[in-house]
Chain A
Amino acid sequence: MQYGLFFFVSLVFFGFTGVNTYFDISKEDVELKIPKGFPKPVYTFKNNKLSPEVFVLGRRLFYDPVLSKDSTTSCASCHQRIAAFAHIDHALSHGINGLIGKRNVPALQNLIWNDAFMWDGGVNHLEVQPLSPITNPIEMNESIAHVIVKLKADPAYVAEFKKAFGDTTISSERILKSLAQFTGLMISSNSRYDKYINGEDTFSLAEKRGLELFREKCGTCHKEPLFTDNSYRNNGLKPDTSLKDKGRGAITGSESENYAFKVPSLRNVEMTYPYMHDGRFRNLSQVLDHYGSAEKYGANVSKEMYEIGPLSDQGKKDIIAFLRTLSDKTFIYDRRFVDPSVK
């Protein structure tokens, strides 16, 4: 069903433009443009010079199940473009052989502003991130050495590496750098919220009230313009006793960080349901019920959580109306990120 929708959307788009240069990537397509008001990125492409050929190689790898052991699972199997590269409707990720992972698939957007990756921040650099899903036994269950063997055996890939890097060497460094060009350019900054901030659009009264409330109750953690302050917090969820996921605490070994998770960006949040690291909430009203409730679990719950207080029904509705303004159709339908093999 989800794949059907995905295919349909791509088809419509392809049909509208009707030109076969749709998937061509120009020099301009890979220029890094820092959106107005955004801070300086953490990942600058300084040691990974952006080029159309490397980006195209990264796109091909992202959509190619060859990265998984039995060639069934690609990055895009879990990261769906129409969901801002999160996965619609799966609480926990689904990997190779139908295995269920332990966490919810996050959106991929504005990654170059992240100082660490994953819900627990365990991965410290955009370039090495793909090693985690590729080698995880319940995700792609493959070794990078064997990925290299498979790519070397495919003349089309050999040609593409030559185009991208000048010679036919296929190495982990080149695979990882091309993926980083593709995912690193996934920038979402063209929502109605952005247009409103830049004076190019207006908000309804509910959206305005929602923004105001959001800034007061949520804005410290979900800090504008990225809607995260890149910190790890316990927002008071009841620990799931079957998953036993300690989050940040398992990375740092510090008990005071148990059950703290990365504050996720809320851009495109309308599309990235279900919510939280374990996908426990199906929709935004359940999320708002959580934030408005007095029940908070854990000794290390962030103090901002207690400052939220009860939320009225109207307040919740207004905040949700505001959150919907963070949807960025330009990003979702950006032809640069469309799977070129779906024609």
Chain B
Amino acid sequence: MASFWLAMSFTMQAKEDGKLNIMFDHYVGKQPLQFDSVNYKNGASQAFTVTKFKYYIGDIHLQRKNGADVVFTDYYLINEEEQESKKLMLEPLPAGEYAGIEFIIGVDSLHNCSGAQSGALDPVNGMFWTWNTGYIFLKLEGKSPASKSPGNFFEYHIGGYKQPANCIRKIRLAFNKVLSGESINELHIKVDVAEILKAKTIIDFSQLSSVADFHNATMIADNYMDMFSILSTKQ
């Protein structure tokens, strides 16, 4: 028994598990996202600034070329305001060649129905609706002169895990080069706020300054599923 464990740990050491650091780099179009100070343009040529941007990522599958996906079941709250939150460290990464990544933006139905939770899913994070239970998957807030709300604010809080308001979206991204399970890998994912406002449907701030119905929520969800792309992969 003892010698078996010895042999095991020896081979484990020889073929050390790797890890994957994922950075979520926030942009608006080609410019890096900056709160308050920078004026951007939406798809309807309306100027806007951003004051809040956060969202949930979970159910991460790393896809091996040969073999089953490696799954990380944790949820992560990515928040522009907190630098640390934009870096995910996934380990151990078992040996193998990795060709892509799959994850959801949002929180799955099970975790929406599990009662009191901690960590990223702790309601203290302010991403929880109390009157119609469920996590808010994404918050994008800002200001635009085009918005007709008091103070020219726009505020998109999107969530919902049940039909007809299911806003969970699955994202699949292929790596532009194969990553190996034995080394330290770094993946930069570009997250483009501009896509939330235009990917499939152009959002006009004068028509929509906040979201309160299922139709608009799923419309924005269909947009935000296109905000991710691979920026770089490094070994």
A311 in the interface, Cβ–Cβ < 8 Å?
no
Contacts of A180 in B (CB 8 A): 115-116
Instruction: Mark out the residues of chain A between 38 and 63 whose CB falls within 8 Å of any chain B CB in the assembled complex.
Output: 47-48
A128/B214 in contact, CB under 8 A? no
A135/B116 in contact, CB under 8 A? no
B116/A176 in contact, CB under 8 A? yes
Contacts of A171 in B (CB 8 A): 118, 122
A148 in the interface, Cβ–Cβ < 8 Å?
yes
B116/A177 in contact, CB under 8 A? yes
Contacts of A127 in B (CB 8 A): 115-116
Interface mask (B111-146 → A, CB under 8 Å = 1, otherwise 0): 011111110001110001011111000000000000
> Within the assembled complex, what's the spacing in Å between the Cα atoms of A128 and B123?
9
B213/A123 in contact, CB under 8 A? no
> Within the assembled complex, what's the spacing in Å between the Cα atoms of A96 and B138?
30
B164 in the interface, Cβ–Cβ < 8 Å?
yes
Q: Which residue of A125, A177, A250 has the most chain B CB atoms within 10 A of its CB atom?
A: A125
Instruction: Mark out the residues of chain A between 117 and 157 whose CB falls within 8 Å of any chain B CB in the assembled complex.
Output: 118, 122-128, 131-132, 135-136, 144-145, 148
Contacts of B130 in A (CB 8 A): 123, 128, 131-132, 135-136
- The total number of A-B Cβ pairs within 8 Å is 62
Smallest CB-CB separation from A253: which chain B residue? Answer: B214
B133/A123 in contact, CB under 8 A? yes
B113/A131 in contact, CB under 8 A? no
Smallest CB-CB separation from A171: which chain B residue? Answer: B118
Contacts of B164 in A (CB 8 A): 253
With A131-B123, A148-B124, A253-B165 as known contacts, state yes or no: A124 contacts B113, CB within 8 Å.
yes
Instruction: Mark out the residues of chain A between 147 and 177 whose CB falls within 8 Å of any chain B CB in the assembled complex.
Output: 148, 171-173, 176-177
> Within the assembled complex, what's the spacing in Å between the Cα atoms of A48 and B116?
10
- A124 contact from B122, B123, B124, B133, Cβ within 8 A: B133
With A144-B123, A172-B122, A172-B124 as known contacts, state yes or no: A125 contacts B114, CB within 8 Å.
yes
A251 in the interface, Cβ–Cβ < 8 Å?
yes
* A75 nearest CB across to chain B (Å): 15
B115/A122 in contact, CB under 8 A? no
Smallest CB-CB separation from B213: which chain A residue? Answer: A253
In the complex, which range does the number of interface residues on chain B fall in?
Answer: 20 to 34
Contacts of B122 in A (CB 8 A): 171-173
Q: Which residue of A48, A136, A144, A180 has the most chain B CB atoms within 10 A of its CB atom?
A: A144
> Within the assembled complex, what's the spacing in Å between the Cα atoms of A118 and B129?
14
With A128-B123, A145-B124 as known contacts, state yes or no: A251 contacts B115, CB within 8 Å.
no
A47/B115 in contact, CB under 8 A? yes
Smallest CB-CB separation from A47: which chain B residue? Answer: B115
B124/A125 in contact, CB under 8 A? no
With A145-B124, A172-B124 as known contacts, state yes or no: A124 contacts B112, CB within 8 Å.
yes
Contacts of A47 in B (CB 8 A): 115
Contacts of A126 in B (CB 8 A): 115
Contacts of B117 in A (CB 8 A): 173
- B131 contact from A125, A132, A253, Cβ within 8 A: A132
A176/B115 in contact, CB under 8 A? yes
* A141 nearest CB across to chain B (Å): 12
> Within the assembled complex, what's the spacing in Å between the Cα atoms of A163 and B1?
41
Q: Which residue of B133, B134, B164 has the most chain A CB atoms within 10 A of its CB atom?
A: B133
Contacts of A135 in B (CB 8 A): 130
B213/A125 in contact, CB under 8 A? no
* B14 nearest CB across to chain A (Å): 40
Contacts of B134 in A (CB 8 A): 124
B124/A128 in contact, CB under 8 A? no
B118/A128 in contact, CB under 8 A? no
Contacts of A250 in B (CB 8 A): 132
Smallest CB-CB separation from B162: which chain A residue? Answer: A252
* A175 nearest CB across to chain B (Å): 8
Contacts of A122 in B (CB 8 A): 131-133
Smallest CB-CB separation from A250: which chain B residue? Answer: B132
- B115 contact from A118, A128, A144, A148, Cβ within 8 A: A128
Smallest CB-CB separation from A148: which chain B residue? Answer: B124
Contacts of A136 in B (CB 8 A): 130-131
Instruction: Mark out the residues of chain B between 182 and 235 whose CB falls within 8 Å of any chain A CB in the assembled complex.
Output: 213-214
- B128 contact from A131, A148, A173, A251, Cβ within 8 A: A131
* B197 nearest CB across to chain A (Å): 24
Contacts of A251 in B (CB 8 A): 132
Q: Which residue of A128, A131, A135, A251 has the most chain B CB atoms within 10 A of its CB atom?
A: A128
* B158 nearest CB across to chain A (Å): 15
26 contacts between A and B (CB under 8 A): A48-B115, A122-B131, A122-B132, A123-B132, A124-B113, A125-B114, A125-B115, A126-B115, A127-B116, A128-B128, A128-B133, A131-B123, A131-B128, A135-B130, A136-B131, A144-B123, A145-B124, A148-B124, A172-B122, A172-B124, A173-B116, A173-B117, A180-B116, A250-B132, A253-B164, A253-B213
Apart from A125-B113, A125-B115, A145-B124, 7 more pairs, CB < 8 Å: A47-B115, A122-B132, A126-B115, A172-B116, A172-B124, A173-B116, A253-B164
